[in-house]
């Protein structure tokens, strides 16, 4: 099959990257100066039994290399240690946090992608027109606003009109499942809007310049000569080819999604992974911090892998 | 004669924003052409003569800064009359075009079949099963197996892509076909096949064909009539035979004179080997013995992502060559024959797997790049494309001075200046002061190539390696550059090894010719002998595919019909 | 391009290569000029800010969350400190942080990119693998972890941003150098006998100069963004005054629920305007360098018909 070598290469790369991240994590927290204070067993107010269990699981009394192997083993089994804060396994905390984050970030990202592609394509095909200038400048403006600024402005403007904190109204207990779902949706409006606005801008600018580049290719002229009408020219020829750089660049901007969602969760008190990380920093909850770092890294690496596979699907020229 | 296609009084202006407001360039001036059904017309001219612009206007494909006046008649109807609106319905349906670079003219992410189908769908010519069948027929018509419809452009060879391009142009059964340099990037044997195909199709389908090209020989062999363009004007138009035998315009005559003709090497061979009176002991300037070079065939993922073509130089097997002082040896072969690799190996840029290379009797085979550096004074290289081989930010003076600085020659500015002057004078850029402070973009192609040669000979090398030194230049300036090389050979007694794909050029200027094919030298000998009585089959095939500028000496196709 | 339309190849188009011509060309565009003007004004304000700050940035000079007035143009923050003075001072430090981190990042990125692109082979493989890893690991999270382990301080912020931000520069420069390396004139100079250093300094660096400038200007936007993000998450030096900490402070002290927008808006708008300026300038240079943007086969207007008689000197 074409490019099975390519797919394997990317998968191996992803696995190795996860491994690098694991190692980096270990070095940061256990080897570098400052490491000892972040000892995994120093759970405040922990029972001696728990401390002993952690010491045994992670071999904290053993030499560093043995600790490393144990750490790998435990991590792969999903044991990230115990949170200093609520003394629950970090893994369980992470699962819950991710469950809250995904709907919000996914909605925001999909909105941003859709809006970005539409605005970017329109700007590019109407290059130099009023529409282009207007939409490009607006995109630059939103690109330039720091996420926290945009979030706080929305908070101030819509204070009262829309729920501004958390996922659910704490006083609306006892409603039916449907009511609570609607309530969550309402709570999602502001954070999703903030995320979508900050991300759309970058996407629109990326799509615009990728489209402009393809519009200068000779095959566009060929298609035009064949009598391909404008709309089809844009869709079937220009955008189809522009998708290649777009996929790459959108994958590279995944970091911005992560940054944006952390800040947004903090501003809107959304009980997701970003807020968990933030709280972990504030409370010096090192096991949570490690676990969160690993978890986000794995997610980003996975999405990068998906982007690679999409690229492969889109570009028939890839064989190795 | 009723005309199928005619251009009447076509004028084209391009507007451009320059530093000081808007300027206007009148790039096509009063051009008129006429073709009967089944007739083939060559539109000949050098780069910038307006020939491509002319046919783009006929397709209505000019950019937005163009203004057009005149008439384009298709079966007597003026399709230009309402601008884009009146051209659009005829585009591809009645008048189709074969673009120059088939690689970039095909959409890289769609199959050939998809792209041909699109042309038919757009004009409602065929659909469904009938369309699939028609795609297969079209591909077979141009000599491509029908199942190749499922292939992507990058999966076809250059010649195949150009054929597929022709198939796509024929999809809607046009009456007129405009071909823009359809064979320029192709090797001479593939070029020959593609031209034969175009001629055959024009006959079978009664197509009026306009062939835009800079190559007079191709026109002579494939067209009935030709129009010669110069600076936007048609300076002469007529039967190809008349143009060849009785050119009326000075420029036409110059063009034919500059077109190399391998067959009309009158009388004695162009060169007899002048190195018979050797006084020094027989240690040739360059001696290559049995070298082999191989490359691993890999292309990195990033190259793929950037769409870089797989352009791995081919391997070289047991190549032996020698060049003496005052001798010019031509290494002839098609792309991929290994001739560039051989040159690279001689320069020490790629490592030879086996064999040896001696320079002035010294073994340079395994030298490191550090060891090579001082030796580079003795061997200099001239490159194919003078637009590419000069750093555009360097003035002529700095370009020629750089080798001196690199090798620490000439301590004072004055000393260096005199060397620079001498080199520029040598290459014919006189008066030198006029050129010293120019940038490459202020020079013509021929002048640029002369600057590149000056910067090579300022080091007074003994051996010059020339990689297709004239193939990117306009026909009319080629001879000048080749004459210059010839003078360097005779006056400065430099040894010259010239790579070329063009047997005619080789036959005219080289003492000896070595023909390369698939990494091996298949034939070597005195130039005249190789051209007159080729021994290798490959050389014979190569010779047979060279178009002849004399229309009566048909090599390409039979025009008796 | 295989099709060279005379309209695309105006005499001017060919000359725009190398550093100054490109810059000169770019600076004729309104967007680039506006960007340059913004950046210049901000840098000047940053330099003279200690001289023009109307009030102290450490001591209270007015009431808590006092709204804007003639005395205090941008109002006051939760500690009664003049916001206008704060934003001026914060800009100075934010810009220093952004510029320093950017210089580190560009330095690493350009070096890695040039080595990788120029020498290729195993050098390229190793360096690009490393770059790929850095690219995939979510930087902000790593920054959070590092800042959390090492403790918050401005120099940590600079180092962390600089050391994690170089990857895109390295990739961009590598691609550029790699293609320059294959250019015939570089090959020619190599065949002349020039050393690698000579080629890199005399022929490669001047070519990538404008791109490097554009990249630096664009990287500053990312650096300043990251600074505000880190500061917002409480990972910057809490005593330092930067645009990031000003916004963080305001959020922390419930400026939002008090409706004290003036504690947030000036710093946020300042960041936005500076970033817009950098973006417009950087993008204009980058676009000016991209020959592929000069041709479009899909223009809004088509070619025009010129009437046969009576217009212009060339009319028939």
Measured at the CA of B490, the angle between CA B487 and CA B492, to 5 degrees, comes to 85
* Chain B residues close to C308, C-beta within 8 Å: 9, 69-70
Q: Are A316 and A243 in contact (CB under 8 A)?
A: no
Closest to A39 in 3D by CA, of A26, A29, A27: A29
* Chain C residues close to A28, C-beta within 8 Å: 145-146, 149
Length of chain C: 316
Measured at the CA of B213, the angle between CA B209 and CA B215, to 5 degrees, comes to 125
E strand or H helix at B268: none
* Chain A residues close to C256, C-beta within 8 Å: 152, 155-156, 159
The average confidence (pLDDT) of chain C is 83
What is the C-alpha to C-alpha distance for residues A281 and B216, in angstroms, rounded to an integer?
Answer: 77
The average confidence (pLDDT) of chain B is 85
Measured at the CA of B78, the angle between CA B76 and CA B82, to 5 degrees, comes to 160
CB of B23 less than 8 A from some CB of A: no
Q: Which chains touch C (3 or more CB pairs under 8 A)?
A: A, B
Query: How confident is the model over C130-148, as a mean pLDDT?
Result: 81
Q: Which chains touch B (3 or more CB pairs under 8 A)?
A: A, C
Query: How many contacts (CB atoms, under 8 Å) link A and B?
Result: 80
CA-nearest residue to B82 within chain C is C305
3-state secondary structure of A21: helix
Going by pLDDT thresholds of 50, 70 and 90, the confidence category of residue C2 is very low
Q: How far from each other are the two terminal CA atoms of chain B, in whole angstroms? A: 16
Q: Are A286 and A34 in contact (CB under 8 A)?
A: no
What is the C-alpha to C-alpha distance for residues B495 and B465, in angstroms, rounded to an integer?
Answer: 8
CB of B65 less than 8 A from some CB of C: yes
Query: How confident is the model over B100-126, as a mean pLDDT?
Result: 90
CA distances from C53 to A28, C45, C58, C73, C91 (A): 41, 10, 12, 12, 12
CB of B293 less than 8 A from some CB of C: no
CB of A218 less than 8 A from some CB of B: yes
Going by pLDDT thresholds of 50, 70 and 90, the confidence category of residue B494 is very high
- In this structure, the number of other CB atoms found within 10 A of the CB of residue A136 comes to 21
3-state secondary structure of A313: helix
How large is the angle between the packed helices B445-457 and B413-426, nearest 10 degrees? 130
C314 has pLDDT over 60? no
B312 has pLDDT over 80? no
Query: How confident is the model over B490-496, as a mean pLDDT?
Result: 91
A40 has pLDDT over 90? no
What is the C-alpha to C-alpha distance for residues B326 and B494, in angstroms, rounded to an integer?
Answer: 5
Interface test mutation site (partner A, options B55, B64, B103, B107, max chain A beta carbons within 10 A): B107
Q: Please state whether beta strands B5-18 and B21-35 pair in parallel, antiparallel, or not at all (unpaired).
A: antiparallel
The DSSP string of B325-357 is: TT-EEEEE--TTSSHHHHHHHHTTSS--SEEEE
pLDDT at B152: 92
DSSP state of C60: -
Counts for chain A of helices (H) and strands (E), in that order: 13, 0
CB of B154 less than 8 A from some CB of A: yes
Going by pLDDT thresholds of 50, 70 and 90, the confidence category of residue B144 is very high
CB of B118 less than 8 A from some CB of A: yes
Percent of chain C with pLDDT over 90: 30
CA atoms within 13 A on the CB side of B387: 8
pLDDT at B310: 46
Query: How confident is the model over A63-75, as a mean pLDDT?
Result: 84
CA-nearest residue to B105 within chain C is C2
CB of B348 less than 8 A from some CB of C: no
| Residue A271 tokens, joined | 């009980």
Nearest to B373 among C183, C185, C193 (CB): C193
Scanning A301-320 for CB atoms below 8 A from B yields 311, 314-320
Q: How far is C199 from chain A (nearest CA, A)?
A: 30
CA A182 centroid distance within chain: 25
CA B20 centroid distance within chain: 36
| Residue C121 tokens, joined | 């082979």
Closest to A140 in 3D by CA, of A207, A76, A209, A201: A201
Q: How far is B58 from chain A (nearest CA, A)?
A: 11
CA atoms within 13 A on the CB side of C118: 19
| Residue B431 tokens, joined | 């008066």
Q: How far is A227 from chain B (nearest CA, A)?
A: 6
CA atoms within 13 A on the CB side of B5: 23
pLDDT at C57: 81
Closest to A215 in 3D by CA, of A119, A126, A139, A130: A126
The residues that bridge with B363 in the sheet, in sequence order, are B358
Give φ, ψ of B8 to 5 degrees: -125, 125
3-state secondary structure of B243: helix
CB pair distance less than 8 Å for C138 and A296: yes
Q: Are C190 and B403 in contact (CB under 8 A)?
A: no
Mean pLDDT is lowest, of A250-259, B17-26, B230-239, C125-134, for: B17-26
CA C194 centroid distance within chain: 34
The ipTM, to two decimals, is 0.83
Per the rule left: phi > 0, alpha: psi between -120 and 50, beta: everything else, C234 is left
Q: What's the per-residue H, E or C state across B437-456?
A: CCCHHHCCHHHHHHHHHHHH
Model's pTM, two decimal places? 0.84
């Amino acid at each position: 099959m074409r490019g099975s070598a390519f797919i394997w290469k990317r998968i191996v790369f992803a696995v190795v990257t996860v491994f690098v991240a694991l190692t980096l994590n270990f070095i940061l927290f256990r080897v570098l100066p400052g490491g000892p204070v972040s000892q995994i067993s120093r759970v405040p107010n922990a029972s001696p039994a728990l401390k002993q269990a952690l010491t045994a699981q992670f071999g904290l009394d053993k030499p560093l290399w043995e600790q490393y192997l144990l750490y790998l083993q435990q991590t792969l089994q999903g044991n990230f240690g115990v949170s200093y804060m609520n003394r629950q396994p970090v893994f369980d905390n992470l699962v819950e946090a991710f469950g809250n984050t995904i709907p919000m970030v996914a909605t925001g990202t999909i909105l941003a992608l859709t809006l970005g592609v539409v605005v970017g394509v329109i700007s590019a095909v109407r290059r130099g027109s009023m529409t282009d200038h207007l939409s490009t400048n607006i995109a630059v403006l939103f690109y330039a606003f720091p996420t926290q600024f945009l979030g706080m402005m929305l908070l101030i403007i819509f204070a009262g009109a829309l729920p501004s904190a958390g996922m659910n109204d704490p006083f609306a207990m006892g409603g039916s499942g449907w009511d609570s779902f609607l309530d969550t949706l309402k709570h999602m409006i502001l954070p999703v809007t903030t995320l979508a606005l900050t991300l759309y801008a970058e996407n629109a600018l990326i799509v615009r310049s990728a489209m402009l580049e393809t519009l200068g290719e000779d095959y566009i002229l060929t298609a035009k000569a064949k009598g391909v009408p404008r709309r089809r020219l844009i869709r079937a020829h220009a955008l189809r080819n522009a998708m290649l750089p777009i996929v790459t660049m959108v994958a590279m901007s995944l970091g911005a999604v992560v940054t944006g969602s952390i800040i947004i969760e903090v501003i809107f008190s959304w009980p997701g992974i970003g807020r968990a990380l933030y709280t972990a920093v504030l409370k010096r909850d090192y096991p949570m911090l490690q676990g969160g770092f690993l978890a986000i890294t794995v997610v980003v690496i996975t999405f990068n892998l998906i982007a690679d596979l999409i690229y492969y699907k889109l570009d028939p020229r890839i064989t190795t | 004669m009723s005309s199928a296609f005619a251009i009447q009084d076509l004028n084209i202006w391009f507007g451009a924003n320059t530093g000081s407001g808007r300027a206007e360039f009148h790039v096509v001036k009063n051009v008129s052409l006429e073709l009967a059904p089944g007739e083939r017309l060559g539109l000949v001219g050098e780069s910038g003569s307006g020939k491509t612009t002319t046919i783009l206007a006929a397709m209505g494909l000019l950019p937005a800064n163009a203004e057009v006046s005149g008439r384009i008649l298709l079966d007597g109807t003026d399709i230009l009359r309402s601008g884009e609106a009146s051209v659009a319905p005829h585009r591809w349906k009645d008048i189709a075009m074969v673009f120059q670079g088939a690689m970039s003219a095909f959409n890289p992410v769609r199959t050939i079949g998809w792209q041909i189908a699109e042309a038919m769908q757009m004009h409602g010519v065929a659909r469904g099963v009938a369309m699939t069948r028609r795609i297969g027929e079209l591909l077979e018509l141009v000599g491509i197996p029908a199942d190749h419809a499922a292939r992507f452009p990058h999966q076809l060879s250059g010649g195949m892509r150009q054929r597929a391009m022709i198939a796509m142009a024929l999809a809607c059964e046009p009456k007129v076909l405009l071909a823009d340099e359809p064979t320029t990037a192709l090797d001479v044997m593939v070029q020959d096949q593609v031209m034969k195909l175009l001629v055959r199709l024009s006959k079978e389908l009664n197509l009026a064909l306009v062939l835009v090209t800079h190559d007079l020989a191709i026109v002579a062999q494939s067209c009935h009539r030709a129009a010669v363009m110069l600076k936007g004007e048609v300076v002469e138009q007529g039967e190809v035979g008349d143009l060849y035998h009785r050119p009326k315009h000075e420029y036409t005559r110059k063009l034919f004179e500059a077109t190399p003709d391998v067959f009309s090497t009158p009388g004695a061979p162009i060169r007899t080997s002048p190195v018979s009176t050797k006084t020094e002991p027989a240690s040739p300037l360059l001696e290559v013995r049995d070298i082999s070079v191989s490359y691993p065939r890999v292309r990195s993922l990033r190259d793929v992502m950037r769409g870089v073509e797989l352009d791995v130089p081919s391997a070289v097997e047991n190549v032996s060559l020698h060049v003496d002082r005052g001798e010019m040896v031509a290494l002839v072969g098609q792309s991929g024959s290994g001739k560039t690799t051989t040159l690279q190996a001689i320069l020490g840029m790629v490592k030879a797997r086996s064999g040896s290379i001696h320079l002035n009797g010294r073994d340079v085979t395994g030298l490191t790049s550090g060891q090579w550096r001082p030796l580079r004074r003795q061997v200099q290289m001239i490159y194919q494309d003078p637009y590419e081989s000069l750093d555009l930010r360097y003035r002529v003076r700095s370009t020629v001075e750089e080798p001196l600085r690199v090798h620490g020659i000439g301590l004072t500015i004055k000393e260096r200046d005199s060397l620079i002057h001498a080199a520029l004078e040598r290459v014919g850029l006189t008066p030198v002061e006029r050129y010293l402070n120019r940038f490459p973009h202020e020079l013509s192609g021929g002048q640029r190539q002369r600057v590149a040669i000056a910067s090579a000979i300022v080091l007074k090398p003994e051996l010059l390696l020339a990689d297709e030194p004239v193939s990117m230049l306009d026909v009319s300036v080629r001879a000048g550059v080749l004459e210059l090389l010839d003078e360097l050979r005779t006056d400065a007694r430099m040894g010259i090894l010239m790579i070329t794909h063009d047997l005619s050029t080789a036959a005219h200027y080289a003492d000896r010719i070595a023909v390369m094919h698939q990494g091996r030298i298949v034939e070597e000998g005195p130039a005249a002998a190789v051209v007159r009585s080729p021994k290798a089959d490959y050389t014979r095939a190569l010779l047979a595919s060279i178009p002849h500028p004399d229309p009566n000496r048909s090599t390409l196709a039979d025009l008796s019909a | 391009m295989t099709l060279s339309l005379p309209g695309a190849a105006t005499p001017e188009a060919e000359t725009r290569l190398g550093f100054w011509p490109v810059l000169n060309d770019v600076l004729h565009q309104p967007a680039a000029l506006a960007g340059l003007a913004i950046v210049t004004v901000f840098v000047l304000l940053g330099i003279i800010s200690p001289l023009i700050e109307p009030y102290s940035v450490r001591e209270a000079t007015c009431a808590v969350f006092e709204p804007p007035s003639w005395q205090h143009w941008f109002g006051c923050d939760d500690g009664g400190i003049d916001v206008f003075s704060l934003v001026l001072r914060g800009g100075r430090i934010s810009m220093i942080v952004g510029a320093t981190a950017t210089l580190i990042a560009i330095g690493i990125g350009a070096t890695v990119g040039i080595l990788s692109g120029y020498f290729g082979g195993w050098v390229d493989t190793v360096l690009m693998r490393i770059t790929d890893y850095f690219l995939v690991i979510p930087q902000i999270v790593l920054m959070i972890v590092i800042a959390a382990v090492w403790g918050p301080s401005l120099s940590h912020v600079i180092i962390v941003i600089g050391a994690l931000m170089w990857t895109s520069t390295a990739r961009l420069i590598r691609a550029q150098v790699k293609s320059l390396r294959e250019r015939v004139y570089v090959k020619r100079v190599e065949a002349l006998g020039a050393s690698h250093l000579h080629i890199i300094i005399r022929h490669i660096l001047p070519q990538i100069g404008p791109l490097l400038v554009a990249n630096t200007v664009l990287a500053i936007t990312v650096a300043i963004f990251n600074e505000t993000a880190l500061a917002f998450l409480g990972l910057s030096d809490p005593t330092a005054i930067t645009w990031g900490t000003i916004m963080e402070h305001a959020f922390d002290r419930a400026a939002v629920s008090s409706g004290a927008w003036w504690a947030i808006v000036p710093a946020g708008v300042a960041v936005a305007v500076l970033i817009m300026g950098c973006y417009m300038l950087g993008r204009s240079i980058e676009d000016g360098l991209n020959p592929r943007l000069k041709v479009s086969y899909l223009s809004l207007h088509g070619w025009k018909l010129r009437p046969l008689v009576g217009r212009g000197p060339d009319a028939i």
